[in-house]
Amino acid sequence: MKNCIILLLGLALLSNHSLSADSENTTEGSEVTHLVMVWLKQDISNEQRDLIMSSAQQLVDIPGVTHVRSGLPIASERSIVDDSFSFGITINLTSAAHINTYLQHPLHVNYVDTHIKGKARKLLIYDF
């Protein structure tokens, strides 16, 4: 049953995205998502976590950013799901060309310095 579900999910993904030799590289005009998974240190309270998450919304003011969303993990008994993180943030950008601008922008640098450094024990970041 599990293999059947995985196969169906794979087919659903393939039907939503056309694959080509160019699919490995995001084109300049394609919207991209910057996904950040955060594992906080044990001593960070839920109130501090909530402030870190809500403060991420300011990143929408960075040029090229179209949407920012943060959320808590959904508990799952499925072995394929990693729900061990503290929270995740998605940042949508108008194109891959905006990633470096976003990363170097003072709002992003300040957010990382103020809310992430010293509080996170692990980060995983995916850009697609």
Quick check: is 9 in a domain?
Answer: no
Q: What is the CA radius of gyration of the chain?
A: 17
Quick check: is 3 in a domain?
Answer: no
What string of pLDDT tens digits covers the 128 residues of the chain?
A: 444 333 333 433 333 333 333 444 445 679 999 999 999 999 999 999 999 999 999 999 999 999 999 999 999 999 999 999 999 999 999 999 999 999 999 999 999 999 999 999 999 999 99
Quick check: is 20 in a domain?
Answer: no
Quick check: is 4 in a domain?
Answer: no
pLDDT on residue 4: 38
pTM of the shown model: 0.77
How many separate domains does the chain show?
1
In terms of residue numbers, what domain contains 117? Answer: 26-127
Number of residues in the chain: 128
Tokens encoding 52: 């870190």
Q: What is the CATH number of the domain that holds 79?
A: 3.30.70.100
